[in-house]
Amino acid sequence: MSIEAPARRLRGRTRSAILREAAATGFDAVGEAETTRTGGVAGAVARFVRVRDWVHFLPLPWVYATRDDVFAPGRLAAAGIAAGCLAYAYGLNRWLDTELARGGTRDSAGHPGSAELSRSVRIVVLVTLGLGALLGAGFLGGVPLAAALASLVGGHVYSAWPRLKAVPLVGTLGNAWIFGPLAFLGTRELGVPPAAPWLAGAFVALLLQNQVVHEAAHRDEDARDGVRTTFVRWGTPVGATLQCAFGLAAAVLLALAGRAGGAGWVAIACGLGALGLTAGVALSGWTGDARRAHRVRDVQRWAGLALGALAWLGCLAPGAPGMPMS
C-alpha cells in the first residue's frame, strides 16, 4: 500500500487524533504514515523499545560512584549497557503485549507498538540489544556482566515465559529484578561505598511504589486482557497498603543512606521528603480513578528521582572509598 495518501491525510494532526483513528480503523496504514512523518525506521525502533519510558533510569550505574570516578569512561559505558538492557525489556514487553493483548495490532494501552516493525526486524533489534549489552558488560568486568545478565533475564521472564507480570504480587516485585541489577553495572568489585546499598534499596522501594500506581492506572486494559496484576487481583486495599509500605521503606532507606554517607541533613531531608511523597500519593485518590493514577504516577516518578538525586549528591560530597572505573 502506498503511504503517501495517509501521510498527507495525517499531516498536522496530533498523536492522540492519530491513535483514535488507529483504534477504529487498524494500525496498518496509520502506523506506516506515522513512521514516515516521525523518523522513519529509526523512529519506529525508538517507539518499539519505548525510549521515553526508561531514559530517566540511565543514571543508575552512578549509584556506586565516588567523587574520584564520577566521570570515569567506564561509567559512561555502563550507562550505554543499561540502555541496552532497558530497551530489551521494554521492547519485549511491548511486543508481547501487542501480540497477546491486541492480536498483533496494538498494545493494551492503545499504542501502535510493534505493529510498525516486521517480526524479523523486532527479533533482530532485541537480539542485538541483548547481545550488545552482554558484550559491553563483559569488557567492564565480571560484576557488570552478571548484572547485565540478571537484568536481561528479569526482563524476559517478566514479559515472556513465565510472564511474571500476569501473576499478582510476583509481577509487581519482579520489577526489582529488571532494574535493581543496573546499579551494579558501574562496579568492578563487590566492595561498595557505605551509602550505596541503602541508596540502591531506596531506589527499588520508590520503583515498586511507582509500579503499584502504574497498575492502578492500567487496571482497565489489564483486566480486559487477562493480566492479573496485584491491583487487578486485590484492588484498593492491597494496592494502597503496598504503596504506603514501599514509601515508608524508601524513607527509612534514604535516611540510612544519609547516615552511612556522613550527611545527616540528607537523612532528614530525604526521609521526610519520601514520607511527604507517600502521604501525597495516599491522599490523591489514585486508587479510584485510572486517569488520576496516570498523573500521580508521573508526579511520583519525578519526585522520587529528585529525592534520589539529592540523597546521592549529599552522600557523594563527603567522599568514601569505592570502586574506580578508570
pLDDT tens by residue, 161-176 = 888 998 999 999 999 9
263-286: average pLDDT: 88
CA distance 130 to 143: 17
**Judgement on whether residues 177 and 245 belong to the same structural domain of the protein:** no
Name the domain boundary from 190, 207, 231. 190
**Judgement on whether residues 181 and 201 belong to the same structural domain of the protein:** no
Q: Where is pLDDT greater, at 183 or 33? A: 183
Question: Is 13 inside a domain boundary?
Answer: no
Name the domain boundary from 140, 164, 190. 190
Question: Is 128 inside a domain boundary?
Answer: yes
Residue 290 in grid coordinates: 485510572
CATH (domain of 287): 1.20.120
Question: Is 44 inside a domain boundary?
Answer: yes
**Judgement on whether residues 42 and 137 belong to the same structural domain of the protein:** yes
Q: Where is pLDDT greater, at 200 or 194? A: 200
**Judgement on whether residues 209 and 161 belong to the same structural domain of the protein:** no
Counted domains in the chain: 2
Residue 214 in grid coordinates: 502504574
Cis link prior to 162 (omega < 30° from 0)? yes
**Most confidently predicted of 38-47, 72-81, 130-139:** 130-139
Question: Is 112 inside a domain boundary?
Answer: yes
**Judgement on whether residues 275 and 326 belong to the same structural domain of the protein:** yes
99-106: average pLDDT: 57
Which residues form the domain of 66?
Answer: 20-190
* DSSP letters spanning 166-208: GSTTHHHHHHHHHHGGGGGGG-SSS---TTHHHHHHHHHHHHH
Short-list 77, 78, 108, 80, CA closest to 93: 108
Name the domain boundary from 139, 171, 190. 190
**Judgement on whether residues 89 and 38 belong to the same structural domain of the protein:** yes
Short-list 197, 146, 182, CA closest to 57: 182
Alpha helices (H) along the chain: 4-10, 15-25, 27-37, 40-48, 51-54, 73-102, 119-140, 142-159, 170-179, 196-217, 219-224, 230-260, 264-282, 290-316
**Judgement on whether residues 165 and 253 belong to the same structural domain of the protein:** no
pLDDT tens by residue, 202-238 = 999 999 999 999 999 999 888 888 888 999 999 999 9
Residue 18 in grid coordinates: 492519530
